[in-house]
Amino acid sequence: MGGAGSKLTHLSATGEARMVDVGGKEETRRRAIAEGAVTMQPETLEAILSGNAKKGDVLATARIAGIMAAKKTHELVPLCHPLMLSKVTVDIEPDRALPGLRVTAEVRVDGRTGVEMEALTAVSVACLTIYDMAKALDKGMVLSGIRLLQKTGGKSGAWRADGY
C-alpha cells in the first residue's frame, strides 16, 4: 500500500475526479510487467494447445487482443493518459499444474507517466479472450492472479512484487 504521506493523485482537494497533469514531469524510460492466469479443465487446455477450439487459434487471438487492449487503455480506464507505447508483448504459456494458461504482458514507453495500467489491461483482456474463445468447452474457467509484477522508471523509481 502507499507509504506515509502518500495521497490519491486522481482526486482534487474536494474529492472530485481529475486527470493528473503530467506536463511538468520529466520523460523517462518506463516499463511494466503484469501477469494473470486462466484455470481450466485439463481437456480444455489440451484442446487449446492442439488447435481444436471451434473459434480458432486461441493463443494468437489472445495475444493480439492483449496488445490492442494495452494501446486502448486510455479509452477503457477513466483518467488514464493516451500514450505512444514503444513495446507491448503478451506471452501465454501452458501450466499443466493449474491446469491452464499463464499470461504475462510487458509494456514500455518513453514518457511522463507509467504503463502499469497498460500492462494490467493487456493481461486482463488476453485472459478474457481466452475465456471467450474456449467457453464452449469449459464455462467454469477461472481468471485469477492478475497483478503487477514489476515497474521501472519515473520519479518513484523501480518496484517489484514480492517473490518476483
| Residue 132 is among the residues annotated as catalytic for this protein | yes
Q: Is the pLDDT of residue 4 over 50?
A: no
Query: Of the listed 57, 110, 132, 162, which one is catalytic?
Result: 132
Model confidence over 113-133: pLDDT tens digits?
999 999 999 999 999 999 999
The closest alpha carbon to 20, from 12, 28, 30, belongs to 12
Q: Which domains does the chain have, with CATH numbers?
A: 28-156 (3.30.70.640)
- Starting at the edge strand found earlier in the chain, the sheet holding 142-152 runs 87-95, 100-111, 28-39, 142-152, 159-160
Mean pLDDT of 80-108: 97
The percentage of residues in the chain with a pLDDT greater than 70, rounded to a whole number, is 93
Site of grid cell 493487456: 122
Pairing of strands 87-95, 100-111: antiparallel
Q: Is the pLDDT of residue 14 over 80?
A: no
Q: Is the pLDDT of residue 17 over 90?
A: no
The vertex-160 CA angle with 40 and 105, nearest 5°, equals 45
